[in-house]
């Protein structure tokens, strides 16, 4: 994953990420995760955790939740740890497609949130990443993948990103024995960028 942009702008980005409420950003799919959060001891994996906003939400809202946050960008990882320092959240500097460190220490999760990560993976790594996620998902678990769509080529280049097609994601998910529950309609960017929309795909094991 190209990281230099995020390393160089970590503090500014962390403040921006933390300024938005989880419930507003993820309103379109929150109904799927709410029933799972009613059970004590929820195991939640946040991949592409940024500065810890989403991991913090689950640590606060789910009773006795076991939360793991994964952020490969060193500076963001440190800022996220500081932001959530009094919470039961385990932080890893790890990344897809393999998640070696996470897999070494954890077996399965009830909810896995993957935020924009597939926008940074080469297509040759996508299937391996999806299989990794499937193997970490509990039998009744929920996999949530957020995609960022952008028509600004300069912005994509600056961040080392690429667009990831919904059909491609559906195909590799099916090959990994995952069933799609929902594909949300494209949503406007919370920061108001006209060139950016977001879309969320939700999966469960077959």
Q: Measure the N-to-C terminal CA separation of the chain; round to a whole number of Å.
A: 29
pLDDT for 1 beyond 60:
no
**Inter-residue contact 75 to 10 (CB < 8 Å):** yes
Name the least confident of 1-5, 14-18, 109-113, 121-125.
1-5
CATH number of domain containing 61: 3.40.50.150
Classify residue 104 as left (phi > 0), alpha (psi -120 to 50) or beta.
Answer: alpha
Number of domains in the chain: 1
pLDDT for 90 beyond 70:
yes
pLDDT for 137 beyond 70:
yes
Structural tokens at position 74: 């060193």
Residue 193's pLDDT is what? 82
Per-residue model confidence as pLDDT tens digits over 34-87: 888 888 999 999 999 999 999 999 999 999 999 999 999 999 999 999 999 999
Instruction: Determine the Cα–Cα distance for residues 155 and 136; give it in Å rounded to an integer.
Output: 32
Instruction: Determine the Cα–Cα distance for residues 5 and 25; give it in Å rounded to an integer.
Output: 23
Name the least confident of 128-137, 160-169, 185-194.
185-194
Residue 147's pLDDT is what? 96
- pLDDT tier at 175, thresholds 50, 70, 90: very high
pLDDT for 29 beyond 60:
yes
Q: What is the pTM assigned to this prediction?
A: 0.93
The per-residue pLDDT of the chain, averaged, comes to 92
Per-residue model confidence as pLDDT tens digits over 98-123: 999 999 999 999 999 999 999 999 88
Structural tokens at position 123: 């297509």
- pLDDT tier at 11, thresholds 50, 70, 90: confident
How many residues comprise the chain? 206
- Residues 178-192, mean pLDDT to the nearest whole number: 90
Range of the domain at 85: 4-205
Kindly state the percentage of the chain with pLDDT values over 90.
Answer: 70
């Amino acid at each position: 994953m190209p990281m230099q942009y995020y390393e160089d702008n970590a503090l500014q980005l962390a403040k921006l990420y933390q300024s938005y409420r989880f419930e507003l950003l993820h309103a379109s799919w929150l109904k799927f995760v709410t029933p799972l959060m009613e059970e004590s001891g929820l195991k939640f994996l946040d991949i592409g955790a940024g500065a810890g906003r989403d991991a913090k939400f689950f640590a606060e809202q789910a009773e006795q939740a076991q939360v793991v946050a994964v952020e490969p960008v060193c500076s963001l990882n440190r800022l996220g740890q500081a932001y959530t320092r009094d919470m039961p959240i385990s932080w890893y500097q790890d990344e897809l497609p393999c998640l070696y460190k996470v897999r070494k220490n954890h077996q399965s999760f009830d909810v896995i949130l993957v935020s924009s990560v597939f926008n940074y993976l080469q297509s040759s790594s996508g299937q391996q990443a999806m299989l990794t996620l499937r193997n970490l998902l509990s039998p009744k678990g929920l996999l949530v993948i957020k995609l960022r769509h952008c028509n600004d080529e300069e912005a994509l280049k600056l961040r080392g990103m690429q667009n990831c097609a919904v059909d491609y994601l559906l195909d590799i998910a099916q090959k990994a024995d995952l069933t799609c529950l929902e594909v949300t309609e494209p949503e406007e960017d919370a920061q108001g960028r006209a060139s950016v929309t977001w879309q969320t795909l939700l999966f469960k094991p077959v």
